[in-house]
């Protein structure tokens, strides 16, 4: 179960990227009071937590209801996470993890960004939702597995809230170049993990053992 905790934490931390969210949040809340920024940060994280928790608890049943097998979801999820990793490595925004340019312009006119684009898609975007579903489907929806994944979700979101509250200081400390460098390094790690998901899914679909260094319980 330590493998599950480490895998889930690394992937979810990389996908949500609390450090990368900081400059976006700082830009969208420019001119707001400190109290308003804290309120939006807390509300956005709580809303994202609610969405992710729901997906952890009912995601496996959702896949079953749709008739989607675990190998197929592992392959599809791995491809999605790989595309996200490519965006991170080349430091280009996309609708997978961050709002598109049109969405960001829309958000600039909002007084409260806690729901959009902060909670969705910056925090609980397609990549994060895919990650929690992959973890549960890969390890099984046993109570211990659900508890570990929920603990990881809460831990990463706590780090995200901390990053949002210190967004101004993070931007001044790292600068945009430093933030892009961190994102590129995390993107390389995510790309490798995404490829492993695809290999595991192919191995399961072909009826053989998982390919490569796939995790086991």
Burial degree of 216 (CB within 10 A; 0-12, 13-18, 19+): exposed
Quote the CA–CA distance of 160 and 163 in Å, as a whole number.
5
Q: Are 152 and 11 in contact (CB under 8 A)?
A: no
Name the one residue in this structure whose structure tokens are 């995510």: 190
Residues of the chain with pLDDT under 70: 91-110, 208-217
Whole-structure pTM value = 0.81
pLDDT of residue 169: 93
Measured in whole angstroms, how far is the alpha carbon of residue 208 from the centre of its chain? 30
**116-173 pLDDT, tens digit each:** 889 988 899 888 988 998 888 878 888 999 999 999 999 999 999 999 999 999 989 9
Quote the CA–CA distance of 17 and 12 in Å, as a whole number.
8
- Alpha helices, H only, the chain: 2-16, 18-28, 34-66, 70-89, 101-108, 126-139, 143-165, 167-205
Which tokens hold the place of 186? 């995390």
pLDDT of residue 7: 87
Nearest one of 208, 49, 70, 78 to 139, comparing CA atoms? 70
Q: How many residues does the chain have?
A: 217
């Amino acid at each position: 179960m330590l493998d599950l905790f480490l895998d889930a934490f690394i992937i979810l931390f990389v996908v949500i990227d609390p450090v990368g969210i900081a400059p976006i949040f700082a830009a969208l809340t420019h001119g707001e009071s400190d109290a308003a920024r804290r309120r939006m940060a807390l509300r956005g994280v709580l809303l994202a937590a609610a969405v992710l928790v729901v997906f952890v608890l009912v995601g496996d049943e959702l896949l079953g209801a749709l008739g989607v097998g675990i190998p197929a979801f592992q392959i599809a999820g791995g491809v999605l996470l790989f595309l996200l990793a490519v965006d991170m490595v080349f430091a280009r925004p996309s609708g997978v993890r961050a709002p598109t340019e049109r969405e960001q312009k829309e958000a600039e006119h909002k007084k409260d960004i806690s729901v959009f684009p902060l909670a969705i898609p910056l925090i609980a975007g397609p990549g994060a939702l895919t990650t929690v579903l992959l973890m549960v489907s890969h390890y099984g929806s046993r109570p211990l597995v659900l508890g570990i994944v929920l603990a990881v979700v809460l831990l990463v979101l706590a780090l995200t809230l901390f990053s949002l509250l210190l967004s101004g200081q993070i931007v001044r400390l790292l600068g945009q170049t430093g933030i892009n460098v961190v994102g590129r390094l995390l993107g390389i790690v995510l790309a490798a993990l995404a490829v492993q998901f695809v290999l595991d899914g192919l191995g399961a679909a072909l009826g053989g053992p998982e390919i490569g260094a796939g995790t086991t319980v």
